[in-house]
Structure 1
Amino acid sequence: MTMSTDPLEQAAPLPQGDYVTGAITGGAIILFVGTGSTVLGSALRSLAGNGGAVDEMQLVAMLLNIAIILLAWRGYRHKVHEVRDLAAAGQRAEKLAAHDPLTGLINRHSFAEQGAALVSLAADHGKAVALLMLDLDDFKTVNDMHGHRIGDALLRQVADDIAQVLPANALTARLGGDEFGCAMLFDPAHPDSVERVAKALVRRLSRAVTVDGHLLTISASCGLARSDQDCDTVDVLMREADIAMYAAKKAGRNRYAWFDRSMERAIQARNEIETGLRNAIPQGQIVPYFEQQIDLATGALAGFEVLARWEHPLRGLIEPDQFIPIAEETGLIADLSMSVMRQAFIAARDWDPDLVLAVNISPWQLKDAWLAQKIIKLLLETGFPARRLEIEITESALFDNLALAQSIAVSLKNQGIRLALDDFGTGYSSLAHLRALPFDRIKIDKCFVGSIAEKLESAAIVGAIARLGDSLNMPTTAEGVEDADTLERLRVMGCARAQGYHFGRPVSAANVRRLLAERRLIAQGPQRLAG
């Protein structure tokens, strides 16, 4: 009988549950050795005619011994194969646990472990580790337009591109989604070697690629951090590279950026604002301020645009450009807007019935199918007349879901609410949008209005928009008027209304009330009760 020379088979331990079987097998082998030679000798002499009859009992016992030994060996071979299969399965499971199944790169957990070892190695040999965090720009658009199958194929292509650019000894991982991490050793005196790699990566990923017949134009933003600058753990290194990557995105995307402490301070300030907003909105710290809108034909006050201001108990008045973008990013803009509108409606109920409130709606809010119902409900609760409300919609907000925007606009118009197209001229300035939604007014952005005296192009644009509005029976409101010369030019061009610092800065509800009282524009008696 030939014995296997497979080292796994030779070394495979017998499972504990088979000790009894092993003992029986061992006994059978001993019995076979003890009786086999005698029985076989007798059998051979009997066949040769030189001996008596073979003892049948001994022959049967010997055959049973052989059968037991063969069965035991077969069982042993089976157990060895089981052990080998389990070992292979364990190796496969270990590989799956350490690698990303889509790209074959190591995953976040393995990257952290191997990165920590690389940081220790660098410290021991006078080197540093550069960690590069890569994120594809607008990858979600690829999935939305072409599906996840194409998106997955693109990620595999990106993984191949990264591997071709990085040094052979670098660590590369897919950290999740469209985010990749790379770690490499470098000489701290020559960080330019890392920058060369970062530039090559950004350049390589900033190109058109064909994936399953689809031509895709992509780009990537890259954040860099180094272990020799007060960064002694891979977790901190990954966090700093991540912060730098988002800074690169904010700076315009398709570029790389080194981490510095100012980025971290900016993140902390942003987080403080977000945390503060979550408390400020329900506490009524975000309040309406009012900017005058003037009728250019008569010079009379026509109404106000409602603006949000944060009356912070410690920091004082905070301008909207510091917290509105964060409110939109976090989804807090809906609650913020409704809170400001409620306060503004209550404050303006008893103003002169001809004064209009203009309220700008965030593009994020236009994704809410119940927006019109929420505004109408707010009007009913506060008793503010719908005919005195003008909702401003930014043109760029219409591109996400024009059908939903149309539905919201029609619902508002049916209640008597007016609609204005805000920031016209800064986007696509599409006439289709003017026809698709029932707008009552066009607002001209201050970026054109403020420069009509210096730039012929701005004057031509403002004049063209004013004429367009007149032909469509949509009067125009010019924003950002800061001097009398600009005001006169707008009047000549045919603009119907204007607003800006020339007429006064936005003021609180209390100050507006004093202004209106001086001009006798506060309703009295029955008019006030009618709201």
Structure 2
Amino acid sequence: MGSRSGGTHPVKIALVAQPDNAGDDFDGDRQIDIIALGIVTAAILLFIATGSEVGPDVVKSLLGHGPGPDNFILNAFLLNVAIIIFGWSRYRQLCEEIQLRKKAERQARRLAETDPLTGFLNRRSFNDAVDTMVRQAALTGDRAVTLIMIDLDNFKQVNDFNGHNTGDRLLQECAKRITGCLPSKALVSRIGGDEFAVAVEFDRNRPDRIDGIAASLVEAIAQSATINAISIEVTASIGLARSDSHARGGTLPDARTLLEMADIAMYHSKRQGRNSYFWFEAPMADEMRFRNELEYGIRKGVARGEFVPFYEQQIDLQTGELTGFEMLARWDSPQFGIVSPDIFIPIAEEIGVIAELSESVIAQALEDAKAWDQKLTLAVNISPIQLRDPWFAQKLLKILLEANFPPHRLEIEITESCLHQNLAQVRSLITSLKNQGITISLDDFGTGYSSLAQLRSLPFDRIKIDRSFVSSIAENKDSAAIVHAIAMLGKGMDLPITAEGIETGDVLEHLLKYDKIKGQGYLYGRPRPAAELAEWLGTIGIVANGDVAQEVFSIAQQVPKASIG
């Protein structure tokens, strides 16, 4: 995840060693200087020698007391004058050329060894400098080196929404803040798009000082920044590794090893909620290996069609009637078995396969739902990442058309957190889908920070109360109060409510006092795979009984042709 590097705005010129051939260049330049200076010196000596003879004769000739100087000696004298003038001019010219060449070489070395956007060391030069720092610290016996890996959270989102120019300026601002938190002898590098690495030498008996630096980095980066009149907030996930704790068999870890360990600790910080720092510990490496296995399995699983829909009942709480199902994706992994979405969805989002995964499972669900009674609806969740795609509405309509599925039976669930990304784009997408007859629900309501103004300005058809409030409504007064407030809000705005997480009769009893409310949860059964659900629906007689082709054909005329095919 990264921004383009453009422009030169050095923040800090980090410590960089001179190349090995720098001395050779200097010796060659000095030899040229000596030769030119020798020529001028010889000419001056000849000038003095000939001048002692030419000078008196010239004076006598001018006074009329004798003949002029010998022509040969006079010519030699004038030639020496010319050589002195030419030699000195050439010497000055050579000196200027040498200085310009040295300046160009220094500039070339700086560009080769530093990041042009921030002025920090690049990865190659940083690794060399860290290796030297680790060796020197080990010689003291009481010193060690900590490597700090810094990754900006949600930086790609800033780039996507505000442009690369804003992203570059944000990187420069973060670089300044990082520099301000570090001691003067620290090494700093930009090793990737939004990743920075820091090496700090410290007293082995005072690791708390490194904790202080890490905490100050987290705090400094989290401060909002105003760039191009836009207030932007990012946080940092930080991992730390120390050279003295991970030496093996007396061998010191090199920069690459320290970077790997700090990187593992940084990803652990991300999994723990971000905006924090963690020291590397050996079990984290096992977690990372498992994570890598999951990533590999997810990529392969998407290609192999291992992600399948399960279905959870949605019930009208007043009548007890089955109204539809929410589709919940599951990963039927040959290695891990049935994997819940809590595990694979965050990873799929991070590695960029969530859209392909989601579209595949939705297509399967539409085919399954065609066999149900036409009164039953199908609700599907949409990832916030999919909402960033301006063509998402057209892609979804294409899937509907290919499945020959009526849009009025489809309900799209958008999480409350999506409202804080790009409200104008979300509004456009919702409007586009509603114009085709698709129902839109606001999912996980109560867990985010959406305002009533946002709720009123967006054309939602339903509010879903998060299960964290519903499941504890019977024993927690605060949860009961929140559910009541949301139900009254829905009533006032004429928005029906769906309560998630109904698992006991006590919870159901509390919810029955509200009108226009549907519910779902384990009280009505666990989510079922397609084959099991089809068998169950057949036993209770809720199956398809009509042709829906005409309604689907009507939306085909409205899907942009550029998005089909």
Give the TM bin, normalised by the shorter chain: 0.7 to 0.9
Decide which moves more: 181-190 or 381-390: 181-190
Matched, 1:14 2:29: no
Distance 1:301 1:239, change over 3 A: same
Distance 1:397 1:210 in 2: 22
Q: 1:358 to 1:223 in 2, by over 3 A?
A: same
Residue 91 of structure 2 corresponds to 76
Confirm or deny: 8 A CA contact 2:265 2:280 kept in the other structure. Answer: yes
Kindly tell me: are residues 287 and 102 of structure 1, through their superposed partners in 2, closer, same or farther at Cα, counting changes over 3 Å?
Answer: closer
- 1:378-412 Cα distance to aligned partner (Å, 9 max, x none): 11111111121111122221232222222222222
Gap runs ≥5 in structure 1: 1-7
**2:328 maps to 1:307:** yes
Which residue in the other structure is 1:477 paired with?
Answer: 498
Please tell me whether the aligned partners of residues 302 and 355 of structure 1 are also in contact (alpha carbons under 8 angstroms): yes
Task: State the one-letter code of the partner of 2:354.
Answer: I
Report which stretch shifted further, 452-461 or 251-260.
Answer: 251-260
Q: Which amino acid aligns with 1:81?
A: E
Deviation at 1:238, TM superposition (A): 2.1
Query: Offset of 1:14 from its aligned partner?
Result: 2.6
Q: 2:149 aligns with which of 122, 133, 137?
A: 133
Deviations 1:86-131 (A, max 9, x none): 3344345445554566766555444322210111123333343222
> How far did residue 217 of structure 1 move?
8.3
Tell me, in whole angstroms, the C-alpha distance in 2 between the residues paired with 1:73 and 1:195: 61
* Contact preservation (8 Å) 2:407, 2:438: yes
Cα pair 1:286 1:336 within 8 Å, conserved = yes
**1:5-52 CA distance string (max 9 Å, x none):** xxx999832389x99x998x8997898688666655765676788865
For the pair 1:466 / 2:487, whether they are aligned, the reply is yes
> Which amino acid is the alignment partner of residue 305 of structure 1?
E
CA distance in structure 1 between the partners assigned to 2:335 and 2:234 by the alignment? 45
Distance 1:45 1:175, change over 3 A: same
Q: 1:520 aligns with which of 541, 547, 557?
A: 541
1:135-184 Cα deviation digits (max 9, x unpaired): 56677899959957974774465245224xx3x55444555666554333
Query: Any conservation in 2 of the 1:131–1:237 contact (CA below 8 Å)?
Result: yes
1:292 correspondence with 2:307 = no
Match of 1:226 in 2: 242
Q: Percentage identity across aligned positions? A: 47
Equivalent-residue separation in structure 2 for 1:9 and 1:68 (angstroms): 26
Q: How many residues align?
A: 517
The amino acid that maps onto 1:280 is: G
**Distance across 1 between alignment mates of 2:450 and 2:56:** 110
* Superposed displacement of residue 285, structure 1: 0.6
In structure 2, the CA distance between the partners of 1:161 and 1:189, relative to structure 1 (3 Å rule), is: closer
Asked if residue 121 in structure 1 is aligned to residue 136 in structure 2, the reply is yes
Where relative contact order (Cα < 8 A, 6+ residues apart) is larger, the structure is 2
Instruction: Specify the code of the residue in structure 2 equivalent to 1:128.
Output: A
1:161 corresponds to which letter in structure 2? G
Q: Which amino acid aligns with 2:535?
A: R
Greater Cα offset, 246-255 or 403-412: 246-255
In structure 2, the partner of 1:399 is 420
2:211 corresponds to 1:195: yes
Partners of 1:246 and 1:509 lie apart in 2 by 36
What's the TM-score, normalizing by structure 1?
A: 0.83
RMSD of aligned Cα (Å): 4.0
- Mapping for residues 47-126 of structure 1, pairs under 5 Å: 54-95=69-110, 97-98=112-113, 106-126=121-141
- 1:478-517 to 2 correspondence within 5 Å? 478-494=499-515, 496-517=517-538
Larger Rg: 1
Q: 1:321 to 1:257 in 2, by over 3 A?
A: same
Unaligned runs of 5+ in 2: 1-25, 248-252, 553-565
Per the TM alignment, residue 457 of structure 1 is displaced from its structure 2 partner at its CA by 2.1
> Given that residues 218 and 275 in structure 2 are in contact (C-alpha distance below 8 angstroms), is that contact kept between their aligned partners in structure 1?
yes
Question: Does residue 158 of structure 1 match 2:177?
Answer: yes
Query: What is the TM-score of this pair, normalised by structure 2?
Result: 0.79
Tell me which amino acid in the other structure corresponds to 1:272.
Answer: E
Of 381, 385, 407, the match for 1:386 = 407
Return the alpha-carbon distance in structure 1 between the equivalents of residues 326 and 363 of structure 2: 14
